[in-house]
């Protein structure tokens, strides 16, 4: 695990170094895509469920990262910064989609239906129920829950990604867990 973190740090340094030179910029981009695309893909996919939507958001995320990399001030880790772009793009996508659908009573019915589609999600019945419960959460709470519960991200890192205080994130996660518990109690 520590070795992985060290490798990631080295790769991060390498990307930033390659990016500084005009002639090695393409190489930097190639390395960035190779290193982070899978992680970012699954981070987005857990929120959007659908592959095509995820592909759109992932492409926008990486393009934005590329465009704004010259302004990256290295105040945070590159991967935290990329997660932040991916999270913002995902939330933006969800809001835009909701607005275009003119928001029905249950906005996530479409996503819940996808969870029950074997071609999209092939978990057990209880796992589908958990995904359903997660999809009932407000989008930011859903993001917090996924990052904490599934990705086991530290609150400190989550705070850097989401631009929220650790306290607020703990409260948000707590509320999300309570809501999911209630969802299962009703069954």
Positions touching other proteins (CB under 8 A) are 26, 29-30, 33-34, 37-38, 41-42, 45-46, 49, 51, 54-55, 58-59, 62-63, 66, 119-123, 126-127, 129-131, 146, 149-151, 174, 177-178, 180-181, 184
Q: How far is the CB of 113 from other proteins (least distance, A)?
A: 15
Q: Report phi then psi at 118, rounded to 5.
A: -60, -25
Q: How far is the CB of 85 from other proteins (least distance, A)?
A: 14
| Rounded-to-integer distance, Cα 126 and Cα 101, Å | 29
117 three-class SS:
coil
Give 50 or 107: the residue with its C-beta nearer to other proteins: 50
Give 6 or 21: the residue with its C-beta nearer to other proteins: 21
Give 109 or 127: the residue with its C-beta nearer to other proteins: 127
Give 105 or 122: the residue with its C-beta nearer to other proteins: 122
CA-based Rg of the chain, rounded to a whole angstrom? 18
Q: How far is the CB of 177 from other proteins (least distance, A)?
A: 4
Q: Any idea how long the chain is?
A: 187
- DSSP codes joined into one string, 59-88: HHHHHHHHHHGGG--SSS-HHHHHHHHHHH
Q: How far is the CB of 160 from other proteins (least distance, A)?
A: 21
């Amino acid at each position: 695990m520590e070795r992985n973190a060290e490798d990631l740090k080295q790769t991060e340094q390498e990307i930033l170094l390659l990016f500084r030179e005009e002639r090695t910029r393409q190489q930097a981009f190639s390395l960035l895509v190779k290193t982070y695309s899978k992680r970012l893909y699954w981070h987005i996919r857990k929120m959007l469920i659908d592959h095509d939507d995820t592909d759109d958001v992932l492409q926008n995320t990486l393009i934005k990262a590329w465009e704004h990399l010259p302004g990256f001030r290295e105040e945070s880790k590159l991967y935290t910064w990329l997660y932040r772009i991916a999270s913002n793009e995902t939330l933006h996508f969800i809001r835009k989609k909701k607005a275009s659908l003119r928001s029905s009573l249950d906005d996530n019915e479409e996503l819940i239906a996808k969870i029950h589609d074997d071609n999209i999600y092939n978990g057990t019945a209880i796992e589908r129920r958990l995904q359903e419960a997660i999809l009932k959460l407000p989008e930011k709470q859903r993001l917090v829950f996924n990052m904490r519960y599934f990705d086991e991200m530290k609150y400190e890192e989550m705070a850097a990604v989401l631009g929220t205080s650790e306290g607020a994130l703990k409260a948000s996660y707590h509320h999300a867990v309570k809501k999911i518990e209630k969802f299962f109690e009703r069954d």
